[in-house]
């Protein structure tokens, strides 16, 4: 939906994905979320 909306309005859209499960498999996810806040 966001990609289509940006295209209709001729706006730039920047998207980023992170695979936290594989990148930080040994770090508890709740600590990652606290660090990202």
Q: Is the pTM of this model over 0.75?
A: no
- pLDDT at res. 31: 86
What whole-number distance in Å separates Cα of residue 15 and Cα of residue 3? Answer: 9
Angle at 24 between CA 21 and CA 30, to 5 degrees: 80
- pLDDT at res. 25: 62
Q: Which residues in the chain show pLDDT less than 70?
A: 22-25
What whole-number distance in Å separates Cα of residue 26 and Cα of residue 7? Answer: 39
So where are the chain's domains?
2-36
Residue of 34, 10, 14 whose CA lies nearest to 24:
34
CA distances from 15 to 2, 28, 30, 31 (A): 10, 25, 23, 24
């Amino acid at each position: 939906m966001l990609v289509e909306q940006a295209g209709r309005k001729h706006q730039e859209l920047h998207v980023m994905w992170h695979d936290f499960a594989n990148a930080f498999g040994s770090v508890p996810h709740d600590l990652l979320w606290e660090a990202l806040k």
